[in-house]
Structure 1
Amino acid sequence: MKELVLTFGGVYGALGVVFGAFGAHALKKRLNEDQLKSFETGVKYQMYHALILIISGIVFPFLTLGQEWAAWCFIIGVFLFSFSIYGLVLTDAAGKKWKFLGPVTPLGGLLLIIGWILFTVNIVSVAVYLNI
């Protein structure tokens, strides 16, 4: 599990840089201000959660379901949240908005919130166990 979490953290981080540069350069002239802002939100959240995945992969031994669930909530949450935003923005800019992605974004956000709650509970447990 540890390797999977670290891999997703690294891949999401690298893609965050790619998508951020793509948004700042290639899409800047094609998107309106609101679309660009939404795209940037997807990139920011993707990067934040790439970092928490890497932190989780370093600090958690993944001996409990809570630690695994936190990681899965982040992995799936990022995919649903950020990638649905990218899809909504890009299809809207092309004039063929994929409206079915609209409800996917808040579901991804909910998973990210649950991930943070599980992370917090589990990191406190690890800290208490290690007496730090």
Structure 2
Amino acid sequence: MVSESSPLLSRTVPSPFLWRSGAILVATGMIVDAFGTHTLRRRPGITVDNLNAWRTAANYAIINGLGLLLVSMHPRFSTHRFAGYAILGGSAVFSGSIMALVLWKNVKFLGPITPLGGIMMIAGYAALAF
């Protein structure tokens, strides 16, 4: 039985920064997915591969936003010094670089940066295990 002084009950308010960041990521992912579905496909030079990459970027933003919402509500992990920020930063780098590569063909230098965002996201989630 959990007592009223339990650490699980002592923190009922989510981390405001992580909560807001998660909500913004989810909303942004939904907006850019809708943009890709309704507008981007009509843009000259956009291929099926571009649309698939765009959808991947949008999905990762949504998934990581939901992850941040959950992390923000956890009494221990919402104050983790690395995890939430790594997930947020990794998601921004990963999704943002993919979207930039789709929109602007001349930013090829971002290609090698995309996996760094993925590594940051993985590191953030892995940090939650320790």
Q: Could you tell me how far apart the structure 1 residues matched to 2:113 and 2:21 are?
A: 20
Change (3 A) 1:102 1:68: same
Q: Could you tell me how far apart the structure 2 residues matched to 1:102 and 1:60 are?
A: 37
Dislocated runs of 4+, deviation >4 Å = none
1:1-132 aligned at under 5 Å gives the runs: 2-30=15-43, 31-62=46-77, 67-92=80-105, 97-119=106-128, 121-122=129-130
Higher helix share: 1
May I ask how many residue pairs the two structures share in their alignment? Answer: 115
RMSD between superposed Cα atoms in Å: 1.6
Encode CA deviations 1:6-41: one digit per residue, 9 max, x unaligned. 010011111111101000000122221000000111
TM-score w.r.t. structure 2 length? 0.82
Unaligned runs of 5+ in 1: 123-132
Q: Could you tell me how far apart the structure 2 residues matched to 1:84 and 1:60 are?
A: 32
TM-score w.r.t. structure 1 length? 0.81
Contact 1:42/1:86 (8 A) holds in 2: yes
**Identity score, percent:** 33
